[in-house]
Amino acid sequence: MTKSNETLLEVRDIVVHYGRIEALHGVSLAVQEGELVTLLGSNGAGKTTTLRAISGLRPLTRGSVWFEGRDISRMKAHIRVAEGLIQAPEGRGVFPGMTVIENLEMGCYGRTFPTRVEHREKLDWIFDIFPRLAERRSQVGGTLSGGEQQMLSIGRALMARPRVLLLDEPSMGLAPMVIQQIFGIIADINSQGTTVLLVEQNAQQALSRSDRAYILETGTITREGLARELLHDDGIRAAYLGVA
pLDDT tens for each residue of 28-80: 999 999 999 999 998 899 999 999 999 999 999 999 999 999 999 999 999 99
Residue 165, domain member (yes or no): yes
- Find, among 62, 122, 120, 132, the residue nearest to 86 by Cα: 122
pLDDT tens, position by position, 203-243: 999 999 999 999 999 999 999 999 999 999 988 888 877 65
Number of domains in the chain: 1
Please spell the DSSP secondary structure of 30-62, one letter per residue. Answer: EEETT-EEEEE--TTSSHHHHHHHHHTSS--SE
Domain of residue 52 covers 7-92+154-240
pLDDT, averaged across the chain: 91
The number of C-alpha atoms within 13 Å of 240 and in the hemisphere containing its C-beta is: 25
pLDDT in tens, 74-103: 999 999 998 999 988 777 789 999 999 999
Q: 120 with 156: CB under 8 angstroms?
A: no
Tell me the whole-structure pTM to 2 decimals: 0.91
Here the CATH number for the domain that contains residue 181 is 3.40.50.300
Residue 80 lies in a domain: yes
